[in-house]
Amino acid sequence: MLKKLTLTLLAVCCNQALAAEVNIYSARQENLIKPILDIFTERTGVTVNLVTGAADELIQRLSLEGDNSPADLLIAEDVGRLYRAKEAGVLQAVESATINGIIPAEYRDSEGYWYGLTLRSRVIIYDKARVNPADLSTYADLANPKWDNKICVRSSGNIYNQSLVASMISRNGVEAAEAWATGLVANFGRAPQGGDREQISAVAAGQCDLAISNTYYFGGMLKSTNEAERNAAAAVGVFFPDQNGNGAHMNISGAGITKAAKNRDAALQLLEFMAGEEAQAWYAEVNNEFPVRADVPASELLQSWGTFKADNLALEQLGIHNAEAVRLMDRAGWQ
Amino acid sequence: MTQVLELKNVSVALESTVIVRDISLQLSQGTIGCLLGPSGCGKTTLLRAIAGFEKVLQGEISIAGQPVSNQQFCQPVEKRHVGMVFQDYALFPHLTVTENIAFGLSAMNRVDRQKRVQELAEMLKIGDFLNVYPHRLSGGQQQRVAVARAMAPKPGILLLDEPFASLDVELREQIAREIRFVLKQDGITAILVSHNQYEAFAMADEIGVMRAGELLQWSTPFELYHQPACAYVADFVGEGVFLNGTVITPSKVETALGLLGGEELHGYPVGSKVTVLIRPDDVIHDDASPTQARVVDKAFRGAGYLYTLALPDGSHVLSLAPSHHAHAEGEMIGIHIEMDHLVAFSAS
Amino acid sequence: MINSVDRAPEGALSSLKTGFYNRLPMLGILLLCLLLSVPVLTILASVTSSSDGVWQHLYETVLGDYVTHSLTLLVGVGCVVLLLGIGPAWLVTMTRFPGSRILEWALVLPLAMPAYIIAYTYTGMLDVGGPLQLWIRETFDVRFGEYWFPNVRSLGGAVTMLSLVLYPYVYLLSRTAFLEQSVCVLEVSRTLGASPWRAFTRVAIPLARPAIIAGLSLVLMETLADYGTVQYFGVSAFTTGIFRTWFGLGSTTAAAQLAAVLLLFILFLVLTEHWSRQKARYHHTSNKYSRLPQIPLTGWKSAAALSYCALPVLLGFLVPFIQLTLWAVDTWHLIDKSSFLTLFMNSLKLASVTAIIALLLGIFITYSKRLRPTLALRGVVRVMGLGYAIPGTVIAVGVLIPFAWFDNTLDAWMREHFDIATGLLLSGTLIAVVFAYLVRFLPVALNTLDAGLGKIKPTMDDVGRSMGLNPLQILRRVHVPLLQGSLLTASLLVFVDVLKELPATLILRPFNFNTLAIRTYELANQERLAEAASSALMIVLAGIIPVIILSKSISRSRPGHDSST
């Protein structure tokens, strides 16, 4: 039986030289990416092979496999991971006039190692009944004692929180960011636990007044098939902070071509396809994200939240400050 | 006559402790031998060395004239063609009695195999439970199956490790005699290990007494009893006491029971101190005898009483008397000595 | 002084080596064990490297939490599994009450439930936004904080979740031990005036101690290796710490060192246990087994026994199972069903291939250890045994490192000498996946087989050899038939474990290859618990059948149980 499996495997891995194909290590999960890849295959005849997994582990795998790695493209769910991949030396720089013309500079690596493909913002979710949105203003304000025991947020092990803190470091320096984090921790309504959806549910249930969440989780709850989730989402509102300052904290999911890529051209073709209008519309829609290009409108649901000012910080800054952010959160006692 | 088993100056060590030293013995075709000794004397180790489970440190073991173990070489157990019966029988619980017996017969065809199993079942009287699993059998039945299994491949020599130790005391001698009969019937050469002299007497043609890794004497049961090679053997085999004595002539010794000894020379210098072995059957109850002894203790032995008697000088002897001679404790009775051989050892 | 000559049968085995003249197979086994220890050794080796002040940071901030939380988990889970495992095992073995025959096997069912799935399920039910609390708030018109409700996502919650799915190890092993105990020993204690309770606490439990400890150590190792549950509950334990250090702080070395500390701690526990056990021998002194007298319970006693034994099944299996079914029905129209069969078959294939290989390796390794218990082999097997306590991801990387190294070295060499590019031969194949499973789960098979083999008297080997069989023939004709029960247990435990395994599969699998566990994880990770329910349910269903077989075979394993007459 094992032998049979091995043979199939060998057949799979040795096929790669024969037909045009792209091999992807993807931290974006199968159901959120497979359909668009299938469309790509249909259009171009290029076969796409997919392994999904957690970004950090995929990067580790890439770097251990070295130059012989079969992967051509790495897709990650967060800029912090893309930056780690670049630092780990598993990506290669590519220049594509097409892509550079589409994707704004702050959402791609300055040297062309990675490109953002969808956008999300990390926002404040508030209880409509208990919180007046006029009292909300900035991320910095969340450290204000007036929110004592009122804020729900997930653990500091989560990369989105790490990126948020990294952006604070990048804007205001380590000391200010640490003071902020310490203040925020003091305002926690409960020990960090669960994912972003649970933070929103906790607000709806009255455990906290405010939650910090990525936009697509909120969107996912609004469109959920589960009535309780829809009800919870209906009870809360979304607030984009720092509208008078730098704008709401942004993050991307994105991709980079691997250093070991053997199908570089096909991979670039796929990357360009994913930055294309059709893919952008679908790709952003399926996970309730904002398209990375301005000329493709967001879904109706996302548009219904109104326009907002997005932080234009070059996202590679989030990667640069990631490790410091983790240490800082440890020191601040953010579990 | 070819010697089926021959040991020449064999020593065996386990984990660098010498357990058995310098043992030599021979066993001829069809003979049943026994290694007799208290637990811890090395008899099982010696048996396992013969089987090939242990290496020898020195000396040589030969089976059917072929060396199988020496310092350089140790033929593996599976090539020696020995049969072994273990103390715990080690019957395979997943196999029926028939399958257990046929275990070593895989080289035979089915018909021959069945024939051999039948033959053994008849000899060992286990025909009634051939299709039963071992845990259903009584201890005695399990023991017979274990013997049948070991005998089945017609081993050149059969080794039995304390084969009767797990049986009820009253069964032991009976089964020992039965097994002896079967072995003799099949013409099998065997050697058993035992700490019980009655088993050894019931089963063996030749017995070796071991102590602390050494073989003290290898001879027939009769010789062992009547001509023990040393005080230890004399004491270990049979009942009896030692009386102190003084050598008077080259053939006679003076003891509390008077002058003992016949015409044979005992070999000790005149005037030296010796101890003399007195067996219970040497001391005859004789009301007419002038030698009087006081009854200290008595034990009923069915056909007779075993009296413990105190002699005038305070030393004790045993006497076996027919049970109609009933005497109370404290009574004085007359005795005289009837001895074929004087068995004496230096007192030092 | 010549002493101890008529040696106990234990010692007799060493003699087998005399005849086992062919040393090559032994060397092969030793090398194989070494190969399987590479991931563990890689981690242990990290202790010597320097990690640039990361430890200083950890020590000043989070290390204390990691240690106290992990210890609390260990102690908590340890106590609860003993409570849930031993009592019911004794009751269903020794007494009769309504439902006891069903509970006998049903108590094993939670084994089919992966810890992360039960954690998702209970969270979905009991969390602040979950249906239960929602109902409380609506029915009594109260707000959060105005009523008391336990928080699932807490250290206590993690202890509960892990205990509910892990107690079957203790149940299984202690039940086996109770079944094997000679009734005579228990009856002797009764004739000496001991009450049934005293007989249980003073005789039955001490006799079953090695089995209970073996079950407990499996549980504790699983607990330490758990990442899914503690991560989901936001409990900062050693495993979550390893990941945070590894990826968040970017220090592979410090992460490996944390893992090494974990391993050393386990090694310490294992050796302590081993040492304490050496003082006493637990061989059964009687070979006579009569039918177990099952005492019928009546009245409140039977009701109490029923509730005690039903509780773990209810909480560990039925409740989450029903919830998953409800979710699955709810979301059935949403999920991708076309790939379900493939996922199911993939999971099944991996689990069975691994179980078979683990069984074969397990037999040869334990048998070699029996024939030739050299220091080297025993040491390597002990090191290999630690694999069970390592988080799957760490093992996966521990597998990736040597495999990728081998592939790349071979590739470079072949290019240089023959101008042929071999590429990655092993990395990224199912061979790597199965290898990782073996590193992680072979210890389970080894433990089971070791225990089984230990019960076979050495004289059985001697009989075989005196009949002219070589060691391999003895293995085939004597040991394998006698070990049937242990072989079944070992393979089924590995099978179920592989079915549930997630992290190593995730990292090591080849392109376009998914399993039920991966599908479940991906959906749950997107916080779509209800949609994850269908695949979760299929894992549970695939695991139930072997679990029931396992439980039934243990009932039949009792010595003296005669299936053929």
Q: Cβ contact (<8 Å) for C428 and A65?
A: yes
H helix runs in C420-457, sequence order: 430-454
Give residue C435's pLDDT band: very low, low, confident or very high (50, 70, 90). Answer: very high
**A 182-221 residues inside an 8 A Cβ radius of C:** 190-198, 200-202, 204-207, 217, 220
Query: Residue A194: which of C60, C234, C407 has the nearest Cβ?
Result: C234
> Minimum mean pLDDT among A291-305, B61-75, B187-201, C58-72: which range?
C58-72
pLDDT tens-digit readout, A91-150 = 999 988 888 988 999 899 999 999 999 999 999 999 999 999 999 999 999 999 999 999
Q: Any CB–CB contact under 8 A between C541 and chain A?
A: no
pLDDT tens-digit readout, A172-185 = 999 999 999 999 99
Q: Which residues, in sequence order, are CB contacts of C299 under 8 Å at separation 6+? A: none
Report the number of secondary-structure helices (H) and strands (E) in chain B.
Answer: 9, 20
Query: Residue A50: which of C133, C431, C512 has the nearest Cβ?
Result: C512
pLDDT tens-digit readout, A44-102 = 999 999 999 888 889 988 988 988 899 999 999 889 899 999 999 999 999 888 889 88
Q: Which residues, in sequence order, are CB contacts of B85 under 8 Å at separation 6+? A: B143, B146, B147, B150, B158, B159, B160, B161, B163
Q: Cβ contact (<8 Å) for B77 and C2?
A: no
Q: Tell me, what's the pLDDT at C292?
A: 62
| Residue for token pair 């101008």 | C419
Residues of C in CB contact (< 8 Å) with B are 2-7, 9, 11-12, 14-16, 18-21, 289, 457, 459-460, 462-470, 477-478, 481-482, 484, 559-560, 562, 564-565
Q: What is the rounded end-to-end Cα distance, in angstroms, of chain A?
A: 46
Residue A220 is encoded by which pair of tokens? Answer: 């996912």
Q: Which residues, in sequence order, are CB contacts of B292 under 8 Å at separation 6+? A: B312, B332, B333, B334, B335
Cβ-contact C133, C123 below 8 angstroms = no
Q: Tell me, what's the pLDDT at A146?
A: 93
Alpha-carbon Rg for chain B, nearest whole angstrom, is 24
Which chain A residue has its CA at the smallest distance from C349's CA?
A: A1
The DSSP bridge partners found for residue B345 are B275
Find, among C488, C459, C491, C486, the residue nearest to C474 by Cα. C459
> Choosing among A15, A31, A77, A159, which should be mutated to test the C contact, i.e. which has the most C CBs within 10 A?
A31
C-alpha dihedral, C531 to C533 to C539 to C540, nearest 10°? 180
H helix runs in B97-196, sequence order: 97-101, 110-124, 139-151, 169-186
Cβ-contact C81, C170 below 8 angstroms = yes
A323-327, C59-63, C240-244, range with greatest mean pLDDT: A323-327
Q: Phi first, then psi: what are they for A76, rounded to 5°?
A: -125, 160
Find, among B251, B253, B252, the residue nearest to B264 by Cα. B251
Cβ-contact A103, A116 below 8 angstroms = yes
Q: What is the DSSP letter of C204?
A: I
Q: Which residues, in sequence order, are CB contacts of C34 under 8 Å at separation 6+? A: C380
Q: Tell me, what's the pLDDT at C456?
A: 81
C248, pLDDT greater than 90: no
Measured CA to CA, the distance from residue A38 to residue A273 in angstroms comes to 12
Residues across chain A: 335
Q: C176 vs A301, which has greater pLDDT? A: A301
Q: Cβ contact (<8 Å) for A31 and C523?
A: yes
DSSP state string for C300-330: HHHHHHHHHHHHHHIIIIIHHHHHHHHHHHH
B16: left (phi over 0), alpha (psi -120 to 50) or beta: left
Find, among B52, B79, B67, B18, the residue nearest to C12 by Cα. B52
- Dmax (CA) of chain C: 86
Q: Phi first, then psi: what are they for C242, rounded to 5°?
A: -60, -45
Mean pLDDT of C264-285: 67
Measured CA to CA, the distance from residue C405 to residue C133 in angstroms comes to 53
Which chain B residue has its CA at the smallest distance from C562's CA?
A: B133
| Distance from the A203 Cα atom to the nearest Cα atom in chain C, whole angstroms | 9
Which chain C residue has its CA at the smallest distance from A192's CA?
A: C234
A264, pLDDT greater than 50: yes
Cβ-contact A50, A77 below 8 angstroms = no
B120-129, C81-90, C221-230, C521-530, range with greatest mean pLDDT: C81-90
Cβ-contact C340, C328 below 8 angstroms = no
Find, among C101, C84, C90, C109, the residue nearest to C170 by Cα. C84
Q: Tell me, what's the pLDDT at C20?
A: 46
Average pLDDT, chain A: 89
Q: Can you tell me the ipTM of this complex?
A: 0.80
Q: What is the rounded end-to-end Cα distance, in angstroms, of chain B?
A: 41
Q: Cβ contact (<8 Å) for B90 and C560?
A: no
pLDDT tens-digit readout, C310-340 = 999 999 999 999 999 999 998 888 777 788 8
Cβ-contact B124, B97 below 8 angstroms = no
Measured CA to CA, the distance from residue A275 to residue A298 in angstroms comes to 14
Q: Any CB–CB contact under 8 A between A7 and chain C?
A: no
Q: Tell me, what's the pLDDT at C564?
A: 34
The DSSP bridge partners found for residue A252 are A119
Measured CA to CA, the distance from residue A141 to residue A171 in angstroms comes to 15
Q: What is the DSSP letter of C475?
A: I
C565, pLDDT greater than 60: no
Q: Tell me, what's the pLDDT at C13?
A: 41
Estimate to the nearest angstrom the gap between the alpha carbon of B227 and the chain centroid. Answer: 15
- pLDDT profile of chain B (348 residues), mean per 10: 84 89 92 91 91 90 90 84 85 86 86 91 88 85 90 90 81 85 90 90 92 92 87 86 87 84 80 88 84 87 84 86 80 85 80
Q: Cβ contact (<8 Å) for C9 and B133?
A: no
Cβ-contact C173, C180 below 8 angstroms = no
Mean pLDDT of C229-235: 84
Q: C298 vs A22, which has greater pLDDT? A: A22
How many other C-beta atoms lie within 10 A of the C-beta of residue C149? 15
Q: Phi first, then psi: what are they for B120, rounded to 5°?
A: -70, -40
C538, pLDDT greater than 50: yes
State the SS3 of B239-300: CCEEEEEEEEECCEEEECCEEECCCCCCCCCCCCEEEEEECHHHEEECCCCCCEEEEEEEEE
Measured CA to CA, the distance from residue A251 to residue A215 in angstroms comes to 10
pTM recorded for the entire structure: 0.81
Kindly list the residues from chain B whose CB atom is less than 8 angstroms away from the CB atom of residue C469: 78
b (16+ CB within 10 A) / e for C33-63: beebbbbbbbbbebeeeebeebbebbeeebb
Residue C88 is encoded by which pair of tokens? Answer: 């019911």
Average pLDDT, chain C: 82
Q: Phi first, then psi: what are they for A21, rounded to 5°?
A: -160, 165
Measured CA to CA, the distance from residue A117 to residue A291 in angstroms comes to 7
Q: Tell me, what's the pLDDT at C257?
A: 85
Q: Phi first, then psi: what are they for C514, rounded to 5°?
A: -130, 160
Residue B98 is encoded by which pair of tokens? Answer: 């028939």
Mean pLDDT of C409-418: 89
Give residue C140's pLDDT band: very low, low, confident or very high (50, 70, 90). Answer: confident
Query: Residue C18: which of B55, B135, B153 has the nearest Cβ?
Result: B55
Q: Any CB–CB contact under 8 A between A158 and chain C?
A: no
Q: Cβ contact (<8 Å) for C21 and B76?
A: yes
Residue C114 is encoded by which pair of tokens? Answer: 């992966």
How many other C-beta atoms lie within 10 A of the C-beta of residue C547? 25
